[in-house]
Structures are given as C-alpha cells and as structure tokens.
Structure 1
Amino acid sequence: MPESTSSTRQTSDPQGFTVSAPTGWSRRTWLLLVTLCGALFLDALDISMVGVALPSIRTDLGMDTATLQWIVSSYVLGYGGFLLLGGRASDLLGRRRVFLAAVGVFGVASVISALSSIDGLIIALRFVKGVSAAFTVPAGLSIITTTFAEGPARNKAFSIYSACGASGFSLGLVFGGFLTELSWRATLVFPGPVALLLLVIGMQVVPRTARRKFSFAQFDLLGALSSTASLLILVFAVVRAAEVGWGSAQTLVLFAISAVLAVSFVVTELRHPHPLLRLGVLRSVRLVHANVAGFVMFGGYAAFQFLVTLYVQGSLGWSPISMAMAFLPIGLIVVVSATKIEVVLDRFNTTVLVAIGLVVFGAAYLLFLRTSPGMSYWNFMFPTMMLLGIGFAILFPAINSQATAGVADDEQGLASGLLNTFIQVGGALMMAVVTAIMASSGEAGAGELLPGMGTALIVLASLTAAGLLMTVVVLAVLRGGPAAEEGLPGGGVDIEERKLELTR
C-alpha cells in the first residue's frame, strides 16, 4: 500500500490508499503512477504514431485516400465521442474496474488489428481502441485525484502524468518512423504488448474501491451514441462528397441525418436526469472559447500532418524515419517548454495567449505555401515545424487553463472532458475536409506537389483566422465586465437556478 508521511495533511480513499508527500514514495506508489502514465502515453502515442505508417498501409492494402483517413479519424472519433461517457462509467462502475478493462481491450484490439489485412476490420478496431482510450483517461485521472493527497503529492503526480501525455503525442511520429521502417504492422501491434503488461501491473497496484449502487438509468448511453453517430456520419458525408458531389442526394441525406442526430443529442441532454453534458455549462464564454480554440488547433494540425505525410513520403519519396525526424522539432519544443510555460500562464491573460498561439499556427500554414518539390528541408519544412512547436507550447496549456477557469469544482471533469472532445472531433472533421479537397483534385506524380495541397493549406489558415476572430470578440466581451465574463451577453448564471440544477 502506498506510503505516507506525517509532514503533510493526509487524505484517503475508501480503501485507505493514501500518498501525502512527494518524497519517500514506495515502490508500489511509483508502479501505480507508471501504470497510469503508461496508459496515457499509449493513448496519445497512438494518435500520431500511426500517421507515419499511412503511406505504407495504403500501398500494401490498396486503400484510397478517402478510406485511408479513417485509420486516424475512427480512433479520434471513438476517443472524443465517448470521453464524457467514460468519465460517467468511471464514477459509477468503479475507477479500477473501468481502467483495467479499457487497458485490456486497447491491448487486444492493437494485436488483432496488426494481424488483419482487411481495411474495414482495421478501421473498426481503431474505433474500438479510441473508445477504450476514452474510458482509460478519465478513470486514470480519477485514480490520481483519489490516491494522491491534495497538495505537493498530487501536484507532482499530475505534473508527471501531463508530461507523459504531451511526450506521447509529440514523440509518436518518431516512434512511428522507426517502427514503420520495420513494417507498418509494427506501429499497430506495438501498443498491444505494452498495454497488456500495464494491465498485469495495474491488477496488482491500482487501488480497489468500494462498490457503489447504481442504476443503468444513470448512464446517458443515448446521448453518447447519438452524438458519436452524428459525428461519424458527418465525417463520412464530407469525405464522400468529393466523389458523389456536394449537392447530390446522398450527401444532402447524410447531412440531414447527422443534423437530426445532433438535435436528438441536445434534446436528450435537456431531458435526461443525468446528462453527459449539462448544457448550462456552455454559458461560460471562456469555456466555449477554449473548446473552439482546441477544435481549431488540433483540427488544423491533424489535417496538416496528414497532408504533409502523404506529400513527403508519397510524392517526394522520403522514408518514414526521415519524415518522423522532420517533425521532431515540434516535439522537442513542446517537451522543453513544459517546465517553463507555467510562468507564462501566471503573467499573461490566457485569451491573449490563445490569440498569439493562433497567429503562430496560421503563419505556419501560410509559410508552407512556399513549398516546391526542389526545396531543401531547412527551407520549406523546418521554419513551419518551429512555428508549430511554438504554437503548441503556447496554445495547448492556455486552452486547458482557460477551459477550467471559473468552473465549479463539481464540473471540472466535465469541462476538461468537453475540451478533449472538441480537440479530437476537430482532428477528425478537418482531416475529412482536407481528404475531400485532395480527392477532388486528382493524383500527384512522383516529385510533384499534391493536387489541392495549396487549397487545403489556405482552408487550414482560414480556419485558424476564424478562431482568431472569435478570440478578438471574446476579449471584447470579457472586457465588458464580470456579468459578460460569467456567461452569455446579458449576464451570468443565476445562483439559485444553479443550485436547483445541481440538486436534480
């Protein structure tokens, strides 16, 4: 059982597992933290690692670009679509049970997907892995908050946990590059044995908690299914539109179905006694702005990475490891800045930092428009990679801080989960848009620019500009005074109404 010291105030969970100081942690405590951090590292790693292998997967399995993007999109949609339900399941079913089950499913799905040569099965298993990650992350966060006492111990645990998540995403391309040199299947199978090892360790060190009585009526399953189905159909409609036409009956019907499901989600959340998303939380201007900024940030970057991967490996003939090394500056900047960004957050308004980050991202996309096949890496890619690294270092912590600022303690998890949902959904939707642009522009020959590449970059820059425009508006609203800052124009949330909602 994790050790504690008498130098700080001690807290405990129902089974008495406590960690009250960041010094003198037992071997069991460190194994617990390694298990939780390892799971988060794999979740983040899987998003970016497989991206390097996409050209190899397309060649071996004969997949077209429209189908290929689902290798990534299915994962992030499963992740983003079920994140809020994952948090609810963790609370009701038990943190340990949900965490271990999700890690186990993640590992098994990884191994099976690596053995398959059927593109539809691989895509389906990628979706399963995304859903597993959606259950792993909130359960892991909950285990940390209930095992490590508030104060230095918990701060240290969260610091290590966050660094592992950031490094997993940042270094995923490097891992993917090395593994793809062996085989694209290695990028799919690698997380499997690691996840299963974490499962074995976790069964020994993850604290047990008392069973809670619950009703399945407390699970807003309809809300989770309707929102995720709406997004899946929307992405499918955008991708298919390039082939069948934006004004075709198929496209219009798919958009209509997606819209009906989205409305169904809203109605469900308004009527359900235990909604996944209490819609009243969206009255916070800061929270809504952080969500939109997260959508823009990751949506633009995921689409850009997809675009550049196909260009440098497919058209220019770069090896997977060369492509991974080309993106390395982004990861290095993010990792190095992780220990310094807290000082920046303390000194500057987060909305201003969001504006700066978006400007840097937009400049990176516009700078890449200079690209021509004969340019050296240091001329056409390195400046953009540096800008993207700086943009991530500023923007990611700023939106995380803003999303939870001023949110009630009982809804911190909701705010954080909602932000991550917007981030993942942004990646899927913008990849679909870029895929549609490329699919309607033809095929590129060896050593040529991808058809539609310039148009796609302009779209990404325009998306970032729209996010920047909203940031300017938010700055103006926040300067309007405390009433505007709390919620929608016209005032904040009525306190008595808030109390009533919480007692329902």
Structure 2
Amino acid sequence: MKPATRTQDPFGPPEAAAGRWDLRLWGLLSVLAGNMLIDALEVSAMIVALPSVGHDLGLTLTGAQWLITGFAIGFGGLILFGGRLVELLGRRRVYLWALLGFAAASLVGAVTDEPAVLVAARVLKGFFAALTAPTGLAIIASVFPAGPGRDRAVSVYALFGGLGFTAGLLLSGLLTAVSWRWTVAFPAPVVLVLFTFAVGLIPGDTTAPDTRRHFDVTGALALTGSLLCLVQGIVSVPGHGWLDARTTAPLALAVVLAAVLVVAERTAPRPLIQARLLRNRTLVRSMAGAAALNGVNLGLLLIMTVRLQDGLGWSPARTALALLPASAPLAVTALISRKLIARHGTARLIAWGALGPVAGAALCLRHPVPEDYVIDILPTLLLVGAGFVLAFAALNTQATSRLAAVDRPAAVGLYQSAVQISAVVVPAVAAALAVGRSDDRPALRLVTAVAVAGLVAGLSGLRVHPTRAEKSSTGE
C-alpha cells in the first residue's frame, strides 16, 4: 500500500483550531448540512405522496409501497458498499459524483410513467444518499478539529437530518397537491446548487485512497438482490397466494442470494460485513432496537397515510400536517439528546423509549378503522414521537460504545444497514396485510409485534455487562 500523503488544507488550521470559523468553513458546513437535509427529506417525501402516485399510475398499495421500500433498499443494501467506495476512491470524488447522480435520478423519476423506472430511481437515490450522508459526517470529522467546534458542527449536521424528515412530509403535502411529480423532482435543483458550491468547498482527501482494491461487489449485489426479491415475494402473496410461482420464485431466490452473501463474506479478503462485529452484543442489541423503532414508525405512517387520504378523503397537505407529531420530535432529539444521555444513560432511555411505540401501536388496535383524528391517531403519533426523543440518539450512542475506535466506522455502517432493512421489510409486510381489507387490524398486529420486539431488546440492555471480548476491544 502506498504511504499516506498529505495535501494542502484549504481551510487553514489556525482559524479552526482557535474555534473561529471563516466563510469557507461555514460554507462547507452549509453544503454538508443542506445535503443531509435532502437525504433525510427523501425518507419521508413519498409517504404522503403514496396514494396520489398509486392512483395516477394504477398501482395497488403493494405496488406503491415500493416507493418507500425502494429507497430503503438502496440505502440499507448498499451503505456498506458505499463506505468501501469512499475508502478506495476518496471522499471528495464520491461525494460530488453522488450529488450529480441523486439529481439525475430525481429528474428521471419525475418524468417517467413507468412504475419500474420510478422504483429504480428511488433505489438509486437511496444508494446515492448512502454515499453522501455518512461521508458528510466523515468530512466534518476531518476538517473540524476535536473539541467544541466539531461538536457544534456535528450537532448542526444532526439537526438538519432531524429536520429533513419533517420537511419531507410538509413539502410532499404541499407539492403533491399540485402533482406528485414535483415531490419527486424537487430535490434535483437544490442538489445541483449544492454541487456548485461543493466543487469549491469540499476538501481533497488528506490521505491517499486505499490501494487494496477489493470492492466486494458480490457481497453488495447479493445483499441488495436478496432484499429486492424478498419484498417482491412478500407483496405477491395477497394477489397470488403462497404457493404461486410468482411468490415462491422470488422468495426462493432471496434465500439463495442470502446464502451467496454468507459465502462471499466468509471468503472475501476484505468482507463488507465483519462477522466479529456481529458477536458484539451491545451493537446487535442496538441494531435490533433501532430497527424496531424505525420499522414501527414507517409502518404506522404508511397505514395512516392511506387511511386518511383514501378512507377519510383528506388532502395530501392536511395529511402531512396530521403526521407531524410523529416526525417533529426527530429535530428535538438532536437538541436535547446529549443532556438526556448524560443524565440517564443510554440503557434507561432506550428501554423507556421502547414503551412508546408499543403503547401507540396497541392503541391503534382499538380502532382499526380510524374515524376521529384526535382519538384514533394523534395519541399514537405522540407516543411514537416520544419514543424517538428518548431512544433514537441513545441507540446511536450505545451501538459503538463498546467497540475499539478502529471498528466503529464499519459498525456504524452495519447499524445503519439494519435500520434501513427494517424500513424495507415492515412497510412491505404491512402493505401486504392491509391491501384489499376493510380494516387494518392484521397490519397493526404486525407493527405491534415489531414494537414489542424492540421493547424486549431495550429491556435486555438494562442489566447487561460487557463480555470479555467487548472489554478487550475497548481496552477495559
């Protein structure tokens, strides 16, 4: 491997070290945070637009749900591969190309009348977001020196990520009232503006890209392909049954590709998934809790969106406003999470937070056909939002708390992949259980079961002590 070589730092260490940010540092943070806002916006943007897209393109709920799960497949299935691309090709190059790709995919998805092309565009946008979201944080860590300055930059970055989910709902509600195509196209011009500034502000890599050029394409394609086939098999069940080849073939292929993934990761010289990380109980428990929290949230939002618009005849804008109590707490979390963790610790916050989604989902089972927003929907949204305020940041912190610094980047990618995989599976199964039914009781039972699984994972962390391997990895 070539020795590390340094390039000139365009930001100048004296100002940064002294805690004084010049215009270039403010500009860089604005570009990174702005793009994080767009990445987070995409997670929620299609939720409110889902019924409109389905009506316009003639899709059932099981077909329209691909607009949510497609983005999650691109993000969760390829985030580990994206990290490898950044490592081998360099942050600046990958970040800039990902911005252009994201804008192009937005425009293609907005103009197409083919559902398959729209879903492919969503998958690509998820992949490009998987390249820019973690890379932006890495750029902050490399440019802003450790201390209050970096902490402030990370807080701004996280705040914009939290605001993005809320902004996605609001913009989707407003733009879908005109046309859902504007909801899909909106990020393109914004990202192109960010790209224009990023060209001059994103610093070059301070070290040479890794020359051990093993991308592990087989592992990346096997994971992504397995998720695609799994969802296709799940959504085929309502229309064709379990025994039809249109259901069994994709499910069988998903199993085969999962087996290929296991073999590829065991034999690869540099696997994307490091098996030893999966032996860290703290990381796995955090992955399970975060996956449950995200899955419950998206599953409930999908069900409620369809029922509010198709069942109660609400407009997209009114639906977006109605769903805000479940999304606005994400921004609050970024502001108060450090104080909460310092005062109560991660384990307690995670356990307390897991109670909210369980109670919220269970409340929905009382009235599976919502009639009154204040009684049937709002309490659930508030409880799920409270769960995010308490547990979201604590889960992120706990995930890597017992890992050596060298293992944390790979662990973060694995953690994020688990979170996004839940956004693939839970909405897909919820849509399959809800389509063609007069009430949502089966789908709500599924979401409640996922919430209970998250609670079990949270409670299991209250009296857990690190294993010998975990102690040695952190030098304890």
Normalised-by-shorter TM-score class: over 0.9
Q: Distance in 1 between matches of 2:210 and 2:349?
A: 43
Structure 2 partner of 1:472: 459
2:139 paired with 1:143: yes
Question: Which one of the candidate residues 313, 316, 336 is aligned to 1:317?
Answer: 313
Name the SS of the counterpart of 1:82 in structure 2. helix
Give the letter for the 1:273 counterpart.
P
Is residue 114–residue 186 contact of structure 1 (8 Å, CA) maintained in 2? yes
Q: Indicate yes or no: 2:377 matched with 1:389.
A: no
2:129 corresponds in structure 1 to 133
1:324-382 residue CA offsets vs partner (Å, 9 max, x unmatched): 11112233333234322212211224233222212110111111223376743222222
1:458 to 445, 449, 452: 445
Structure 1 position 253, deviation (Å) = 3.5
Structure 2 unaligned regions, length at least 5: none
Hey, what does 2:467 align to over in structure 1? 483
Q: Which residue of 2 aligns with 1:448?
A: none
SS at match of 2:402: coil
Per-residue displacement from partner, 1:229-259 (whole Å, max 9, x unpaired)? 1111111111112222224444334323212
Letter of the 2:313 partner, please give it.
G
Task: Determine the C-alpha separation between the residues in 2 that align with 1:237 and 1:162.
Answer: 36
TM-score by length of 1: 0.88
What is the alpha-carbon distance in structure 2 between the residues aligned to residue 453 and residue 311 of structure 1?
Answer: 9
Q: Distance in 2 between matches of 1:66 and 1:216?
A: 42
Contact kept, 8 Å, 2:369 with 2:440, in 1: the verdict is: no
1:393-408 paired onto structure 2 within 5 Å: 393-408=389-404
Task: State the distance in 2 between where 1:35 and 1:394 align.
Answer: 29
Give the whole-Å Cα distance in 2 for the aligned partners of 1:250 and 1:375.
36
Q: How far does the alpha carbon of each residue in 1:440-489 deviate from its partner, in whole angstroms, 9 at most, with x for none? A: xx25xxxxxxx24011111111111122223334445x1xx4436x55xx
**Match in the other structure for 1:200:** 196
- For 1:501, the equivalent position in structure 2 comes to none
- Contact 2:175/2:182 (8 A) holds in 1: yes
* CA-to-aligned-CA distance 1:238-285 (integer Å, 9 cap, x gap): 111222222444433432321221122122222211111211011111
Provide the rounded CA distance (Å) in 2 between the counterparts of 1:82 and 1:130.
Answer: 8
Give the one of 330, 334, 337 matched to 1:334: 330
Quote the Cα distance in structure 2 between the aligned partners of 1:307 and 1:230.
Answer: 25
How many aligned residue pairs are there? 468
1:65 aligns to what?
61
Name whichever of 134-143 and 42-51 sits farther off.
134-143
CA distance, structure 1, for counterparts of residue 105 and residue 413 of structure 2: 24
User: Which deviates the most, 171-180 or 187-196?
Assistant: 171-180
Q: Is the 8 A contact 2:333 2:392 kept in 1?
A: no
**Which residue pairs with 1:499 in the alignment?**
none
Q: Is the 8 A contact 1:171 1:331 kept in 2?
A: no
Counting aligned pairs with the same residue, the percent is 35
Kindly provide the amino acid, as one letter, of the partner of residue 455 in structure 2.
Answer: L
Aligned twin of 2:108: 112
Superposition TM-score, scaled by structure 2 size: 0.93
Alignment of 1:162-181 (within 5 A): 162-181=158-177
Distance 1:337 1:22 in 2: 29
* Residue 8 of structure 2, aligned match among 15, 39, 43: 15
Matches within 5 A, 1:102-501: 102-209=98-205, 212=208, 214-215=210-211, 217-371=213-367, 375-439=371-435, 442=436, 451-476=438-463, 478=464, 481-483=465-467, 486=469
Once the two structures are TM-superposed, the CA of residue 15 in structure 1 deviates from its matched residue by 2.4
1:78·1:127 contact (CA, 8 Å) conserved in 2?
A: yes
1-side partners of 2:64 and 2:332: how far apart? Answer: 33
Question: Taking structure 1 as reference, are residues 89 and 494 closer, same or farther at Cα in structure 2, changes over 3 Å only?
Answer: closer
Q: Which has the higher contact order (CA 8 A, sep 6+)?
A: 2
240-249 or 380-389, which deviates more: 240-249
Deviates further, 102-111 or 19-28 = 19-28
Question: Secondary structure, in 3 states, of the residue corresponding to 2:113?
Answer: coil
Residue 309 of structure 1, CA deviation: 0.5
CA root-mean-square deviation: 2.2
- 8 Å CA contact retained: 2:47, 2:68: yes
Shift of 1:22: 7.5
Q: Which runs of 5+ in 1 are unaligned?
A: 1-11, 444-450, 497-504
Q: Is the 8 A contact 2:88 2:213 kept in 1?
A: no
Partner of 1:42: 38
Q: Would the aligned equivalents of 1:358 and 1:464 in 2 still touch at CA under 8 Å?
A: yes
SS in 1 for 2:16: coil
CA contact under 8 A between 2:24 and 2:201: conserved in structure 1? yes
Q: Secondary structure at the match of 2:272?
A: coil
1:7 maps to what in 2? none
Question: Which one-letter code corresponds to 1:421 in the other structure?
Answer: S
Q: Write out per-residue CA displacement over residues 130-174 of structure 1, whole angstroms, 9 at most, x where no aligned residue.
A: 111111122212211111111122111111001111110133211
What letter is aligned with 2:452?
A: A
Conservation of the 8 A alpha-carbon contact between 1:292 and 1:467: yes
Q: For residues 91-110 of structure 1, what are the structure 2 equivalents within 5 Å?
A: 91-110=87-106
Partner AA of 1:376 in structure 2: D
- By how many angstroms is 1:21 displaced? 4.5
Q: Deviations over 1:91-126 (max 9, x none)?
A: 211111000100111011111211112111111111
CA–CA separation in structure 2 for the residues paired with 1:338 and 1:213 = 32
Aligned 8 A contact 1:367 1:384 in 2: yes
Aligned residue identity for 1:14 = T
* Letter matched to residue 453 of structure 1: D
Distance 1:173 1:292, change over 3 A: same
The 1-side partners of 2:190 and 2:203 are apart by 21
Looking at structure 2, the residues matched to 72 and 392 of structure 1 have their Cα atoms a distance apart, in angstroms, of: 20
Which whole-Å CA distance do the structure 2 matches of 1:469 and 1:343 have between them? Answer: 25
CA distance in 2, matches of 1:298, 1:494: 29
